[in-house]
Structures are given as C-alpha cells and as structure tokens.
C-alpha cells in the first residue's frame, strides 16, 4: 500500500503504523519483519514535512525561486540549510558545517550582497548578518542569484538565508527523539511531505521516500486488557426493550463513538447471560 493507505489499515486493525523509540524496539522490529521473509523497504510511522523558508521571513514574489544543482538529497537526514556555489547553484547542507556566508544590506526590495569570509554554522552566520547587516541573503530571481554568485569566494560554498526546520513526526503522535538514520541520500525533489521506511537491506535504518510508493508495512499493537463495567440505565420510555438486538447495537455504537471523541480507543462488547440477555430489570424495595 502507499503510506496513507497503510496508516489507515493499521489504525483500523491494530493501533497505528510502527513507532520505534529505542534500540530494543529496533531489535524487536527486525525480528518481526525477518520472520515474514521481508528484506527491502517497509513503511513505518515516520514522516517529515518540507517547508523551505527565508531567514528574514520573506514570502512575497519570488519566495519560491530555487536554483538547485540537484534536488535536495537530504543526506543522512541532516541537511536543513542551503548554500550557494560560485556557479550560482544551490545545495542543501548540514546547518552545523562551517561555511562562508552571504549577507544582504539595504532593503528587501533593493538588497546589496556582502560576502563574509569567516567560516560559521548557519545559525551563527544568521546572527552575524542580523547584527551587522540586515539578514542572510534572500534570492528571488535569476538576477539576484547571479549577484549573490558574483560575491561568493572561488572554491567555496556559502550560506544563504534559505532553511527548513527538522520537522519529524510519528503517525501516532509520539514525541520524536530517538533516531536511526540511513547514511545516504534521501532525494526530496519538490515533495512537501516525505514518508519514512525502514531499509531492511541496511539493518533497518530509516530513510524517506515519496508517500505514494507502494510497499509492505509494519503496524504495532498493544497488549489486550479486558475490563468489565457495570451500567445502570434509567428508561424514560418503559416500552423500550434494552435486550432488543437493534437497541443493544445502537447503544454500543454510541458508547464507542463517545469514547473515541475523548481519545479513548477501546473495543466494546456486551456480556451476555446464559439466556442471551444483557440487561436485567432491577427490582426496587420500598421501605
């Protein structure tokens, strides 16, 4: 199935697509998939949103301009910032790498570009530009791209203001902290959302693929616990037969829907007596 279909299936039959939060769960996951003879990519509950933004918040005309050398390859799921080469091509890169950088001065409408030949991380470069100029460079068209490329030092990649946040999520809403990244490329193209697989041919490490790809998938479930709850019901209409199958089914559905709205995912069923009845009339003794 594609990722969304797999998510729906897991939520209906089990709990959700697999969430993996520590090394013990990795081992359990790998033992499960190996017992089914799987050896390629399988969907898990991981996904990421891809929203490139400019450091100074610019969203006007040209904000979507890009001049990638190759589409972002998101190597090892660590490249969230953008640098420009002397030929004017763009590369996604690790934000912690030390790079020269390009600031702009003047105004957003009429910027001038300045190269700073001190290697800094992207965030340190951003702080420097904001303190000494306006911000890291924005590039909205071919003319601006050429103007920025003109000040890039030969042989260097220089930071510009384009970046995105490390927005990783689990389908079931679990917090994201533990990682198990694949050491290789994750071609993002123009995707706005990319979905996670465990690459079984690479020891189950995680990488991203287009969510429309059709793959096997792994769900997770939780140990089943059962609890009996007694209900006392007061009838406003004495002609209603609570043991009527249609009435029992309607009541059960309403209870199930109410619990679901409260975020409680359980399966309800009536406990029947040997005579097939669920409800027994309570006799009141008057004093």
Q: Convert the pLDDT of each residue in 9-59 to its tens digit.
A: 999 999 999 999 999 999 999 999 999 988 899 999 999 999 999 999 999
pLDDT of 66 higher than 50: yes
Looking at the structure, do residues 30 and 12 belong to the same domain, yes or no?
yes
Looking at the structure, do residues 61 and 145 belong to the same domain, yes or no?
yes
Looking at the structure, do residues 73 and 142 belong to the same domain, yes or no?
yes
Boundary-marking domain end, from 163, 185, 205 = 163
| CATH number, residue 38 | 3.10.100.10
Of the chain, the percentage scoring pLDDT greater than 70 comes to 95
Joined together, the tokens standing for residue 181 give 């990244």
**pLDDT reported for residue 245:** 84
- The single-letter DSSP state of residue 66 is -
Looking at the structure, do residues 157 and 62 belong to the same domain, yes or no?
yes
Distances (CA, A) of 36 to 3, 205, 284: 19, 18, 59
pLDDT of 4 higher than 70: yes
Are the beta carbons of 182 and 206 closer than 8 angstroms? Answer: yes
* Most distant CA pair in the chain, distance: 100
Looking at the structure, do residues 194 and 259 belong to the same domain, yes or no?
no
Are the beta carbons of 79 and 92 closer than 8 angstroms? Answer: yes
Looking at the structure, do residues 247 and 151 belong to the same domain, yes or no?
no
pLDDT of 287 higher than 50: no
Looking at the structure, do residues 83 and 94 belong to the same domain, yes or no?
yes
Question: Cα–Cα distance between 80 and 266 in angstroms, integer?
Answer: 40
Looking at the structure, do residues 121 and 183 belong to the same domain, yes or no?
no
Report the mean per-residue pLDDT for the chain: 92
Question: Cα–Cα distance between 137 and 145 in angstroms, integer?
Answer: 10
The CB-side HSE value for 25 (13 A sphere, CA atoms) comes to: 14
Boundary-marking domain end, from 163, 191, 208 = 163
Joined together, the tokens standing for residue 8 give 């729906």
Question: Cα–Cα distance between 258 and 256 in angstroms, integer?
Answer: 5
Looking at the structure, do residues 60 and 120 belong to the same domain, yes or no?
yes
* 202 beta partners: none
Q: Residue 229's pLDDT band (boundaries 50, 70, 90)? A: confident
* Cα 190 off chain centre by: 16
**Domain count of the chain?**
3
Looking at the structure, do residues 242 and 146 belong to the same domain, yes or no?
no
Looking at the structure, do residues 157 and 178 belong to the same domain, yes or no?
no
Are the beta carbons of 84 and 90 closer than 8 angstroms? Answer: yes
Looking at the structure, do residues 155 and 79 belong to the same domain, yes or no?
yes
The DSSP bridge pattern shows strands 41-49 and 168-170 to be antiparallel
Q: By residue range, what is the domain housing residue 89?
A: 53-163
pLDDT of 114 higher than 90: yes
Q: Which of these, 110, 109, 162, 104, lies nearest to 130 by C-alpha position?
A: 104
Question: Cα–Cα distance between 212 and 6 in angstroms, integer?
Answer: 11
């Amino acid at each position: 199935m594609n990722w969304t279909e797999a998510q729906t299936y897991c939520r209906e039959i089990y709990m959700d697509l697999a969430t993996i939060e520590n090394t013990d769960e990795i081992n359990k996951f790998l033992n499960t998939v190996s017992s089914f003879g799987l050896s390629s990519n399988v969907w898990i509950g991981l996904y990421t949103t891809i929203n490139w933004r400019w450091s100074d918040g610019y969203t006007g005309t040209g904000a979507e301009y890009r001049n990638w050398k190759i589409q972002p390859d998101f190597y090892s799921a660590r490249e969230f910032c953008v640098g420009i080469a002397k030929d004017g091509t763009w590369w996604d890169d690790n934000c912690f790498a030390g790079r020269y950088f390009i600031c702009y001065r003047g105004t957003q409408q009429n910027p001038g570009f300045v190269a700073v030949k001190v290697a800094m991380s992207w965030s340190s470069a951003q702080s420097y530009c904001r303190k000494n100029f306006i911000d890291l460079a924005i590039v909205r068209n071919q003319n601006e791209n050429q103007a920025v490329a003109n000040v890039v030092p030969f042989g260097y990649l220089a930071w510009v203001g384009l970046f995105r946040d490390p927005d990783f999520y689990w389908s079931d809403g679990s917090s994201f902290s533990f990682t198990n990244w694949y050491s290789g490329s994750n071609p993002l193209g123009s995707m706005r959302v990319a979905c996670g697989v465990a690459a079984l041919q690479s020891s189950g490490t995680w990488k991203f693929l287009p969510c429309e790809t059709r793959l096997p998938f792994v769900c997770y479930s939780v140990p089943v616990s059962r609890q009996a709850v007694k209900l006392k019901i007061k009838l406003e209409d004495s002609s209603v037969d609570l043991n009527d199958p249609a009435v029992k089914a309607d009541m059960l559905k309403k209870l199930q829907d109410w619990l679901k709205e409260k975020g409680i995912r359980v399966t309800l069923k009536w406990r029947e007596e040997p005579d097939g009845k669920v409800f027994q009339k309570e006799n009141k003794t008057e004093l």
